[in-house]
């Protein structure tokens, strides 16, 4: 007798309340599985990395330009 067959046989003997509890436990197992083995979309991660890298580069350039301007103002004072 397989595990599935054993479980099915035991399920037939449970009350409605017990079946509700089993159902909740099964839902919990499925929910937990999503966090233990998450589906990783490497293509999406790569896309986000490229977007953030570009944004970081732009912010760095903007920051260095502002820094250079502050140095000029300091030199003029």
Q: What is the pLDDT of residues 10-61, one digit of tens each?
A: 999 999 999 999 999 999 999 988 888 777 888 888 998 998 998 888 888 8
Residues 47 and 67 in one domain: yes
Domain count, the chain: 2
Q: CA dist 54 to 10, 46, 65, 67, Å?
A: 58, 12, 17, 20
70 pLDDT above the threshold of 90: no
Q: Which residues of 39-48 are buried (b: 16+ CB within 10 A; e: fewer)?
A: eeeeeeeeee
- 63 confidence band (pLDDT: 50, 70, 90): confident
31 and 12 within one domain: yes
Look at residue 38 in the predicted model and tell me its pLDDT.
75
pLDDT value of position 25: 96
Domain check: are 35 and 58 in the same one?
Answer: no
Rounded Cα gap, residues 32 and 26, in angstroms: 10
pTM beyond 0.85: the answer is no
Domain extent, residue 50, equals 40-77
């Amino acid at each position: 007798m397989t595990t599935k067959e054993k479980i099915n046989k035991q399920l037939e003997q449970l009350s409605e309340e017990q079946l509700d509890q089993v159902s909740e436990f099964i839902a919990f197992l499925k929910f937990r599985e999503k966090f233990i083995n998450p589906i990783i979309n490497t293509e999406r991660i790569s896309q986000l990395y490229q977007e953030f890298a570009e944004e970081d580069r732009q912010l760095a350039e903007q920051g260095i330009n502002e820094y250079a301007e502050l140095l000029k103002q300091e030199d003029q004072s």
